[in-house]
Structure 1
């Protein structure tokens, strides 16, 4: 049998005591969501700049939805930024 090691970050909120975990996969997902949100914001800004001259076709370009990106440094329950982080290693058989 081979042992597999999983490394996670354990976060504990000092405000309410909530505990949550995340790993590298979660961090990469958050980075991708931030890039998507930035793309949507830039697209909407481009549409707004096209409309400065009052061009009619730009009115028919739909706005991109704002993407809500989860912040791993903020407690999901109470919104506190007083979070203590520690690296936890799990050995799984």
Structure 2
């Protein structure tokens, strides 16, 4: 019985670089974007407390943002001019 794996093949029109990503990469990317949104909201709340003169808010640490890979951009030259096609691999 064969198992099918779907991937997205991306080809950069500018430099010709070819890379692939799968469903796991899309899920991970979405999760990291959501985490960054939560961290930004937390930092905004902290900054708003400081604007009103809340001294203890100065001691709340800033939340760091993760570097999120843009799946619609070439990892080599950062061009957004890419072709995408869905590839299906059959694995035994």
Band the TM-score falls in, shorter-chain normalisation: over 0.9
Name stretches of at least 5 consecutive residues in structure 2 with no aligned partner: none
1:5 equivalenced with 2:13 (yes/no):
no
Equivalents in 2 of 1:42, 1:20: separation in Å?
Answer: 33
Q: Which residue of 1 aligns with 2:37?
A: 38
Name stretches of at least 5 consecutive residues in structure 1 with no aligned partner: none
For the aligned residues, what is the CA RMSD? 0.7
- Runs of 4 or more, structure 1, over 3 Å off, are none
Equivalents in 1 of 2:54, 2:7: separation in Å?
Answer: 51
Equivalents in 2 of 1:44, 1:53: separation in Å?
Answer: 15
Secondary structure (helix, strand or coil) at the match of 2:28 reads helix
Report how many aligned residue pairs link the two structures.
92
